[in-house]
Amino acid sequence: MKHDFMRLGLPVATSLGLFAGQISIPPAILRSALVIAKFSGLFQVARYMTRDGLRIICYHGVAVAEEYKYRSRLFIRKELFRRRIEYLQCKDYPILPLGEAVEGLAQGRLPPCATVVTMDDGWEGVYSVALPIIKELEIPVTLYVPTFYIEHPMPVFTVTLSYLFWRTKRRRVELPRGLGVFALDFEAEQAEAAAQELGVLLPAADRLEFLKEMAEALDVSFEDIETQHLFRALDERQLRQLADAGVDIQLHSHRHEWSADDSRTTVEAEITDNRRFLEKIVSHPLEHFCYPAGIHGPHQGEWLAALGVKSATTIEPGLNYPDTPRFALRRLVDGHPVSDIEFEAEMTGFMEIVRALRERRFFGMLRRRLRSNRYHGRNGLQDSKDDQGTSHSARNS
């Protein structure tokens, strides 16, 4: 078994020379190289080598209008979301509920290439656009939900404000509330930073008024934003209907404000407020968490565990194995910048091998694969003996 596996692994390492360097590869060249790797059989080999790795996919919002043109990774079009799920089903990636997958990962009893689909932030498009696809294709989905903007219905401040600056055609603007005059051709970042800094300090109702003032100053229609329900979080009714449809609602902090340097008191308050609000809506345990923006400190896992949390996901790319920390689970972030061939490279584990080469842990991956083969080989032999014993007993009864 060992020699057979090494014959598979070493050619992969040799063929990955283009990817293994530290120099960034232009997207067009990367995609062409991935196509060559796929048709050379390397994707298939990678899938075999990484089949015990849990794949967790991360989505955010689903576009309700054309906001994907503004942030194409944050708001995915429904056509692409459907195509991704249909790909997973066609290629036999078993899609599991998050809780079942985390438990199976700990026990080393996941099906090959087990996959979890997660969605962050609780955008309204998850209900109005994604839910029909989720129900039609019958897939389990975990939705990590912050609750501040459910409690205070309004467009999410930080994202909406950035959109106003993206949308404006003004070249010079006098910002409200004495923030100053800015030439947007070369001072747009400073202008937005000043507005963001003020806005996050305002009470919820005043934030909404400030957004309207900013829209007027930047000559962008706020009425269009409200009419199209852009950048809206789910409301309580929609969240209940998602839960009733089988979507696994889980924790994502209350305010979606998180730092690796947050105190334990701050972390506990965010989880407690988030859980208290969601407990009014869902009946299942709230025991899985997603770090806002993926930001976390290594010490925070202990605090989360004390709060009854069993796992936490990041946005660090990669697959998850039995030795992956449960409070630093890796995810594959998908969206419009990710081409079909790049998505396939991630799902097959090819890019996992690329990262292992770059980080000089490729042979550690090989050793893990060999240990897994020996473990499952012994268990398979024992299971076979047990089956024979059961059959013999049955014949004698």
Is residue 219 domain-shared with residue 90, that is, in the same domain?
no
Is residue 24 domain-shared with residue 113, that is, in the same domain?
yes
Q: Would you say residue 378 lies in a domain?
A: no
Cα distance between residue 120 and residue 138, in whole Å = 19
Structurally, the chain folds into a number of domains equal to 2
Is residue 181 domain-shared with residue 58, that is, in the same domain?
no
Contact 349, 369 (CB under 8 A): no
Is residue 170 domain-shared with residue 319, that is, in the same domain?
no
Is residue 276 domain-shared with residue 347, that is, in the same domain?
yes
Cα distance between residue 247 and residue 127, in whole Å = 10
Contact 136, 78 (CB under 8 A): no
The residue type of 186 is F
pLDDT of 367 = 74
Which of 227, 253, 287 is the endpoint of a domain? 227
Q: Would you say residue 189 lies in a domain?
A: yes
Is residue 252 domain-shared with residue 178, that is, in the same domain?
no
Cα distance between residue 336 and residue 3, in whole Å = 41
CATH number at residue 274: 3.20.20.370
Which of 227, 253, 288 is the endpoint of a domain? 227
Is residue 109 domain-shared with residue 253, that is, in the same domain?
yes
Using alpha carbons only, how large is the chain's radius of gyration in Å? 24
Is residue 143 domain-shared with residue 193, that is, in the same domain?
no
Kindly tell me the sign of the dihedral angle through the C-alpha atoms of 278, 279, 284, 287: positive
Residue 339 lies in domain:
2-152+232-368
Q: Would you say residue 205 lies in a domain?
A: yes
pLDDT of 4 = 45
pLDDT of 250 = 98
Is residue 33 domain-shared with residue 143, that is, in the same domain?
yes
What SS3 class is residue 287? coil
Is residue 134 domain-shared with residue 205, that is, in the same domain?
no
Is residue 182 domain-shared with residue 303, that is, in the same domain?
no
Q: Would you say residue 385 lies in a domain?
A: no
Q: Would you say residue 219 lies in a domain?
A: yes
Q: Would you say residue 138 lies in a domain?
A: yes
pLDDT of 394 = 35
Tallying the residues shown for the chain, one arrives at 397
Q: Would you say residue 45 lies in a domain?
A: yes
pLDDT of 18 = 57
Which of 203, 227, 251 is the endpoint of a domain? 227
Share in percent of the chain as helix, strand, coil (round to 5): 55, 10, 35
Cα distance between residue 284 and residue 228, in whole Å = 32
Is residue 7 domain-shared with residue 85, that is, in the same domain?
yes
Q: In degrees rounded to 5, what are phi and psi of residue 211?
A: -60, -45
Cα distance between residue 251 and residue 282, in whole Å = 11
Burial of 298 per CB tally in 10 Å (0-12, 13-18, 19+):
exposed
pLDDT below 70 — which residues of the chain?
1-23, 363, 369-370, 372-397
Q: Would you say residue 29 lies in a domain?
A: yes
